[in-house]
Amino acid sequence: MLSPKMNDALNEQINREMYSAFIYMSMSNRCNELGLKGFTNWFMVQYHEEMFHSMRIYEYVCRQGGKVTLKAIAQPPADFASPLDMMTKTLEHERYITQSINNLMDLAISEKDHATQIFLQWYVTEQVEEEENDNEIIAQLKLIQDSPHGLMMIDRDLAGRMATVPTDFSKGVEAAAKASAG
């Protein structure tokens, strides 16, 4: 059972995660325009991750007998100066998402909502990984400075990123995650 306040807060997070997906789809598109296939792939994988994050909350609210209320997704930015600009904005955004997850966890603790605390634990861990990945790529981009050769090497590396989350939610998010984990 979810309190109305917790239910509303989770609905907000569904929206935030979908907005995250939109941002990364927009960045993927920009990278494609720049001819950076690896970055294009990396951001599209990120898009799928965010959709999974969102749908996981969607399913949790349903399973708890709550009410999913979908809200309009804001238009994402589209003009980015460079891969470093995109990755810096990605890290800024992920820090904001980390804070929003922490706020949800604080609410779950204050309400003694144990089920939601356990559910949110996955997101707490996930955000550490999100920020770590972004920091790593930012460090590499700073290291190469303006070297096109260095950029191509990073781009080749990012081309290898594969989605580790399910993308077909027709049978439910948790079921899809279990199936893809083998």
The count of chain residues that interact with ligand OFO, using the rule CB under 6 A, is 7
Note whether 97 binds ligand OFO by CB under 6 A: yes
Q: Which CA distances in Å does 35 have to 20, 29, 39, 41, 89? A: 23, 10, 9, 11, 20
Note whether 53 binds ligand OFO by CB under 6 A: yes
DSSP 131-178: HHHHHHHHHHHHHHTT-HHHHHHHHHHHTT----S----TT-HHHHHH
Query: Site residues for ligand OFO, window 119-138 (CB under 6 A)?
Result: 130
Cα angle 137, 139, 140 (rounded to 5 degrees) comes to 65
Q: What string marks each residue from 54 to 93 as x (binds ligand OFO by CB under 6 A) or -?
A: ----------------------------------------
Closer residue to ligand OFO in complex, CB, 20/28 = 20
Note whether 94 binds ligand OFO by CB under 6 A: yes
Note whether 20 binds ligand OFO by CB under 6 A: yes
Closer residue to ligand OFO in complex, CB, 86/151 = 86
Note whether 28 binds ligand OFO by CB under 6 A: no
CB of 18 to ligand OFO, least distance (A): 10
- Nearest partner of 16 among 111, 102, 109, 84, judged by Cα: 102
- Out of 25, 26, 43, 50, point to the residue binding ligand OFO (CB under 6 A): 50
Closer residue to ligand OFO in complex, CB, 97/151 = 97
Non-local CB neighbours of 39 within 8 Å, separated by 6+ positions: 27, 28, 31, 83, 86, 155, 158
C-alpha span between 84 and 65 (Å, rounded): 43
- Nearest partner of 8 among 104, 76, 113, judged by Cα: 104
Q: What string marks each residue from 137 to 176 as x (binds ligand OFO by CB under 6 A) or -?
A: ----------------------------------------
Structure tokens at 77: 């930015």
Say how far residue 70 (Cα) sits from the centre of its chain: 18
- By CB under 6 A, name the binding residues for ligand OFO: 17, 20, 50, 53, 94, 97, 130
